[in-house]
């Protein structure tokens, strides 16, 4: 199967604000989509990518934190229909998003989470995650629920980045990866 780099949806697009549709079964289309999502995430130097970020309305995300030493033992994986069952503590750390390029913000997230999801074989998986892996999972699960990391900042911070967000909406940004802007332009 030849992998395809998919354009990444950008801030302001409606699909990033919609709750995704749960996956009922995995077919060849889903398998191909997941392969393309991993390829796209790698080309964009990301650690996570949710289906709405490639204009697909399904509850799927891919995660790869293996290039960090402490996570070298964790192979890249897919999460289907994930649910955060429990969360504990609070941890602030810098976060960015491939759909909101150029903006990095200090975001509060749960320090530890317990997640239930399905793998590509539709086997249920229960995972306890903290630190970076927990943060990436929370970020991607938020995407599947129509929530962006910019929703987690205070009003002063929102005012500070307002112009940058407007520029992203207008496509006045440069990245090293393909973007889908205003649902029509691919750059």
Residue 39 maps to a domain: yes
Residue 85 maps to a domain: yes
Active-site positions read 140
Alpha-carbon span 58 to 51, nearest angstrom: 6
pLDDT in tens, 114-168: 999 999 999 999 999 999 999 999 999 999 999 999 999 999 999 999 999 999 9
Alpha-carbon span 61 to 37, nearest angstrom: 8
Residue 35 maps to a domain: yes
CB 75 within 8 A of CB 88: no
Residue 128 maps to a domain: yes
Note down the domain range covering 161.
8-186
**Nearest Cα to Cα of residue 78 among 52, 60, 101, 56:** 60
Residue whose entry in the numeric block shows the structure tokens 């934190």: 65
% residues pLDDT > 70 (the chain):
97
Residue 167 maps to a domain: yes
**Number of structural domains, the chain?**
1
Residue 150 maps to a domain: yes
**Nearest Cα to Cα of residue 45 among 146, 139, 175, 153:** 175
Confidence of residue 184 (pLDDT cuts 50, 70, 90): low
Residue whose entry in the numeric block shows the structure tokens 């998919």: 6
Q: Which CATH number covers residue 156? A: 3.90.45.10
pLDDT in tens, 73-95: 999 999 999 999 999 999 999 99
Stretch 173-182: mean pLDDT: 90
Residue 2 maps to a domain: no
Residue 3 maps to a domain: no
- pTM for this model (two decimals): 0.95
């Amino acid at each position: 199967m030849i992998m395809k780099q998919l354009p990444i949806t950008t801030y302001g697009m409606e699909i990033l604000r919609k709750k995704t549709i749960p996956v009922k079964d995995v077919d060849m289309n889903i398998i191909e989509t997941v392969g393309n999502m991993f390829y796209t995430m790698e080309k964009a130097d990301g650690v996570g990518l949710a289906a709405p970020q490639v204009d697909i309305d399904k509850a799927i995300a891919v995660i790869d934190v293996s290039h960090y030493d402490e996570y070298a033992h964790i192979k890249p994986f897919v999460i289907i229909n994930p649910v955060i069952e429990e969360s504990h503590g609070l941890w602030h750390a810098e976060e960015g998003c491939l759909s909101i390029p150029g903006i990095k913000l200090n975001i509060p997230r749960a320090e530890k989470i317990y997640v239930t999801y399905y793998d590509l074989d539709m086997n249920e998986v229960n995972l306890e995650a903290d630190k970076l892996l927990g943060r990436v999972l929370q970020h991607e699960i938020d995407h599947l629920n129509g929530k962006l990391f910019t929703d987690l900042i205070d009003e002063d911070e929102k005012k500070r980045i307002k112009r940058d967000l407007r520029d992203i909406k207008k496509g006045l940004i440069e990245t090293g990866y393909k973007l889908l802007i205003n649902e029509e332009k691919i750059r």
